Amino acid sequence: MEQQIVSAIKHRVLPHPALVVGIGDDAAITRVTPGKQLVTTTDMLMDGVDFLLASTDPVLVGRKSLAVNLSDLAAMAAVPVGAVISLALPRQGGEQLVRQLFDGILPLAAEFQLAIAGGDTNSWDGPLAISITVWGEVEPGEAWLRSTARVGDKLHVTGALGGSILERQFTFTPRVNEAQQLRRSAQVTAAMDISDGLLIDLARLCEASQCGAVLDLDKIPVHADAVRLSLQEHPTATPDELQAFALEHALADGEDFELLLTIAPSDPLAAQSIGEITSARGIFARAADGSLRALTIRGYEHQFRA
Amino acid sequence: MEQQIVSAIKHRVLPHPALVVGIGDDAAITRVTPGKQLVTTTDMLMDGVDFLLASTDPVLVGRKSLAVNLSDLAAMAAVPVGAVISLALPRQGGEQLVRQLFDGILPLAAEFQLAIAGGDTNSWDGPLAISITVWGEVEPGEAWLRSTARVGDKLHVTGALGGSILERQFTFTPRVNEAQQLRRSAQVTAAMDISDGLLIDLARLCEASQCGAVLDLDKIPVHADAVRLSLQEHPTATPDELQAFALEHALADGEDFELLLTIAPSDPLAAQSIGEITSARGIFARAADGSLRALTIRGYEHQFRA
């Protein structure tokens, strides 16, 4: 069965200029642009942890498995090149499942000119697990790191946050193109993607950069999904209460997959900042009057919409 | 827990000249030797399919998870550079398990100067699954493929075959160094590693190269383990019967992880050949008198020693 599945995948994979040898040999061979460095990331998504196969469209599961990896490349400002995909398929219905997963994977790969270079397809008595490794390229020294934020840098996010559980955790667009544009137009000093929530991920960036941060809570872009989710959860709340609930979702929900960036204070983009990097450790909220209060770091625990 | 595990792994990983940014950022950054192409392979090993965790030392399981990937690089004549490692850990005992797996992974990585660049560590209610992606480098056009064997080429294997189930399936040395030596000294025209058994893998090489092959059965190197295993299975067999049983193990057992190579007939190594490539499709056994009989392709079904 596995040979047939691999053969079916092979026939659906698009050619790619970087691909010298693709699916079917012991390994894939790809070209590297002269002078570039390699950026590699891997993510494993598992039934019951990252999704519930019983209640989620497998096409979306496949798409997400690749999208989270592309988001990690975006966080490094890397240009995607190739991917290898390993599957642990439940024995029952594995053949149909793999077709659906690739219905989600292949269009996203095409959208970001990513070569599907190979993989490993297996069946077992366990639940579905999907492990994807993606690589891309950067100019030496041009990758964005978590560890290079400087005191006084401004905080920036690429989009509105919160309520991703309603749908966006499966349908988000990895910020690959936005990262390339920002790499050219802005003085980005550090970056990461927001996978576990703004507060916890900002705390990680600060730990890596040995600094703290202040957030201007009124400037944090709250996604409409955060408001919708708050309305579902608190149908009788007042508008002020709803605003507070939605902000909480924007701060602590995970799976936004927007980029969190630090920008040099002299950069024009700094005008739209949501806060700034401080020498004082910890994450603080700044009120309109400039007063600070420490925020509790609260982040994402893997959740699903059952 | 996962943050602690990752931190513990990070402290055990050796520095590596190709590694610019390792464990701890959104992705790893590695150098590529100028002018080289990238060779990438991935393998997922799963409890109940590739090993039985209940009866196998997790150190050996970790070692094997990396070794099978290095074997794929060897089959392409690539020099290993880096690896990323994803784990789906059972919730119970996951922390100790990951330590043991890395007790097997890290020494093998060090032996082959492989950078452990990153990974993804997860816990779930399913069984243990380990997905490793390894990459290496080749000069453009110098990788060995399965599809380039030519009629008249001689067949060569890098070591004795059969009975790997007794232990070698976990302790084998991936033929990375042998491949580099052969790349320099011999006219290798095609290659693959023997993972599912000589017969089935030779048939795959022949299919990729659109040819057939003849095997000189008396020249196939039979491993002492194949004899030991035959003795265990058939304690009352005659010496002739034992020889036949052992040869059968050499032909059809899997997980030898020796390299199967085709060599130009003019190469000195051709003198030690075990057969040759033919235009007639199929795999044939050649008797001492030169007569041919078609062999049934029988290969490896995943097995364990319980």
> A299 lies in a domain?
no
What Å distances lie between residue B149 and A27, B118, B264, CA to CA? 17, 36, 9
- Chain A interface, best mutation among B37, B133, B145, by max A CB count within 10 A: B133
Locate the chain B residue with the closest alpha carbon to A85: B42
Distance CA B185, CA B179 (A): 10
Tokens of A140: 């030496």
Would you state the pLDDT for residue B306?
Answer: 33
Same domain, B243 and B186: yes
> A221 lies in a domain?
yes
Residue at which a domain ends, from B74, B105, B138: B138
* CB-based contact B46:A88 (threshold 8 Å): yes
> B196 lies in a domain?
yes
pLDDT band at B304 (very low <50, low <70, confident <90, very high): very low
A219-275 pLDDT per residue, tens: 999 999 999 999 999 999 999 999 999 999 999 999 999 999 999 999 999 999 999
Q: Is B136 annotated as a binding residue?
A: no
- Chain A interface, best mutation among B44, B98, B137, by max A CB count within 10 A: B44
Count Cβ atoms below 10 Å from residue A246 Cβ, excluding itself: 25
Residue B221: domain span: 154-294
At what angle are helices A224-233 and A239-252 packed, to 10 degrees? 120
B117 touches chain A (CB under 8 A): yes
Amino acid at B14: L
Closest CA relative to residue B247, chosen from B212, B270, B282, B223: B223
* CB-based contact A189:A260 (threshold 8 Å): no
CATH of the domain at B90: 3.30.1330.10
Same domain, B131 and B158: no
Most distant pair of Cα atoms in chain A: their distance: 66
> B302 lies in a domain?
no
A17-54 pLDDT per residue, tens: 999 999 999 999 999 999 999 999 999 999 999 999 99
Q: Is A50 annotated as a binding residue?
A: yes
A45-85 pLDDT per residue, tens: 999 999 999 999 999 999 999 999 999 999 999 999 999 99
> B300 lies in a domain?
no
Locate the chain B residue with the closest alpha carbon to A31: B37
Contact state of B147 with A29 under an 8 Å Cβ cutoff: no
Contact state of B29 with A120 under an 8 Å Cβ cutoff: no
Through-space distance between the first and last CA atoms of chain B, rounded to whole angstroms: 31
A206 contact partners, CB below 8 Å, separation of at least 6: A149, A212, A213, A277, A281, A283
> A36 lies in a domain?
yes
Same domain, A60 and A163: no
Would you state the pLDDT for residue A300?
Answer: 58
Same domain, A172 and A289: yes
B93-140 pLDDT per residue, tens: 999 999 999 999 999 999 999 999 999 999 999 999 999 999 999 999
Contact state of A31 with B37 under an 8 Å Cβ cutoff: yes
Residue B43: list chain A partners with CB under 8 A.
86, 120
pLDDT value at B233 more than 70: yes
Tokens of A94: 């594995």
Q: What's the total number of domains in chain A?
A: 2
pLDDT band at B298 (very low <50, low <70, confident <90, very high): confident
B245-271 pLDDT per residue, tens: 999 999 999 999 999 999 999 999 999
Same domain, B132 and B6: yes
Q: How many helices (H) and strands (E) does chain B have?
A: 8, 13
- Chain B interface, best mutation among A1, A19, A25, by max B CB count within 10 A: A25
Hey, which residues 206-245 in chain B have their CB within 8 Å of chain A?
Answer: 208
* CB-based contact A96:B50 (threshold 8 Å): no
B282 contact partners, CB below 8 Å, separation of at least 6: B212, B294, B295
Residue at which a domain ends, from A138, A169, A184: A138
Residue B17: list chain A partners with CB under 8 A.
none
Torsion of CA B240, B245, B250, B253, to 10 degrees: 180
What Å distances lie between residue A297 and A50, A195, A247, B110, CA to CA? 22, 14, 14, 38
Tokens of B203: 């048939």
> B146 lies in a domain?
no
Pairing, β A79-90 against β A129-138: antiparallel
Distance from the Cα of B218 to chain A's closest Cα (Å) equals 28
Q: Is A276 annotated as a binding residue?
A: no
Give the angle subtended at the CA of B37 by the CAs of B33 and B42, to the nearest 5°: 110
Residue at which a domain ends, from B103, B138, B173: B138
CATH of the domain at B187: 3.90.650.10
Same domain, A180 and A250: yes
Same domain, B166 and B76: no
Residue A29: list chain B partners with CB under 8 A.
37-39, 76, 138, 143
